[in-house]
Amino acid sequence: MMYEENYYNQDSDLVKINDSSQSNPIIIYAHQLNQYYHTLLGNPFERLKYYDSSIEQYHFYRTPDIINYIITYYLYHGCLLTEIHYPVEILYDELVFFGFNIQIIYDIISNCITIDYYIPSGKLNIILLQI
What is the Cα–Cα distance from 108 to 95, expressed in whole angstroms? 10
Give pLDDT tens digits for 92-109: 889 899 999 888 788 777
From the candidate CATH numbers 3.30.710.10, 3.50.30.10, 3.40.640.10, 1.10.3720.10, the one assigned to the domain spanning 14-117: 3.30.710.10
> What pLDDT score was predicted for residue 84?
61
> What pLDDT score was predicted for residue 82?
60
**How far from the centroid of its chain's Cα atoms is residue 120's Cα?**
14
Give burial (CB, 10 Å; 0-12/13-18/19+) of 60: buried
**Domain boundaries of the chain, sorted by first residue:** 14-117
Q: What is the dihedral of CA 72, 92, 44, 7, to 10 degrees?
A: 10
What is the Cα–Cα distance from 92 to 96, expressed in whole angstroms? 6
Give pLDDT tens digits for 51-79: 999 989 999 988 888 888 889 888 887 77
pTM over 0.75: no
